[in-house]
């Protein structure tokens, strides 16, 4: 868990990184001294307009990079590489809010009988079947008011699978939690 001061620091790092990149086209990685920022974590960075519309969201599922570096990489990826959106421009930056989701480790469900373990609003989902894989963060189900089954179906849809693929024996379902925080209004 990050303290409020640590959350503010990592959000400041994300904004500073994005602003610098949009102004100069370059990224200079910042060295962070806090040991928590050197721990490896999965992380997603979401960009929203101040009106609440999604403007980009990309992340790392696995804990392969230190948190500080992962946040810097993912804020740029969310702004420039999300295929659903045109790249963010410097003029847009003042109208964007940054949200960070620090992920726990993935936990695989043992089978269809285990879906009752999924708590909407607490758990995020990763669904995988063959080459298809989709992930939705915990806050997505809450934002849309989905039931557990709707959350499963939408995660399948994100993976490019049939909506009921979660119910098939060759589909793997993983749970995770996330510490979610963002810039104030």
pTM of the entire predicted model:
0.90
- Cβ contacts of residue 161 below 8 Å, gap of 6+? 127, 129, 132, 134, 171
Burial of 171 (0-12, 13-18, 19+ CB in 10 A): buried
Residue with tokens 């209004």: 185
Residue with tokens 């610098």: 20
Residue 113's pLDDT is 66
Q: pLDDT (tens digit, 0 to 9) for every residue of the chain, 185 residues total?
A: 899 999 999 999 999 999 999 999 988 777 788 999 999 999 999 999 999 999 999 999 999 999 999 999 999 999 999 999 999 999 999 999 999 999 999 999 976 668 889 999 999 999 999 999 999 999 999 999 999 999 999 999 999 999 999 999 899 999 999 999 999 86
- CA distance readout (Å), 175 to 117, 118, 127, 156: 9, 7, 9, 14
Residue 79's pLDDT is 97
Is 75:98 a contact under the CB 8 Å cutoff? yes
Domains of the chain listed by start with CATH number? 4-103 (3.30.700.20), 107-178 (3.30.1490.150)
């Amino acid at each position: 868990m990050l303290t409020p001061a640590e959350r503010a620091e990592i959000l400041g790092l994300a904004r500073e990184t994005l602003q610098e990149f949009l102004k100069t086209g370059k990224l200079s990685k910042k060295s962070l001294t806090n040991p928590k920022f050197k721990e490896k974590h999965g992380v997603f960075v979401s960009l929203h307009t101040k009106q609440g519309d999604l403007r980009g969201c990309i992340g790392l599922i696995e804990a392969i990079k230190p948190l500080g570096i992962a946040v810097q990489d993912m804020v740029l990826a969310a702004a420039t590489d999300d295929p659903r959106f045109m790249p963010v421009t410097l003029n847009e930056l003042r109208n964007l809010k940054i949200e960070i989701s620090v992920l726990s480790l993935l936990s695989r469900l043992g089978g269809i009988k285990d879906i009752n373990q999924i708590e909407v609003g607490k758990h995020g989902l990763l669904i995988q079947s063959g080459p298809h894989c989709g992930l939705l963060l915990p806050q997505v189900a809450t934002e849309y008011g989905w039931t557990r089954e709707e959350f499963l179906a939408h995660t399948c849809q994100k993976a490019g699978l049939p909506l009921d693929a979660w119910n098939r024996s060759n589909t793997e379902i993983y749970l995770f939690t996330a510490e979610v925080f963002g810039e104030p209004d």
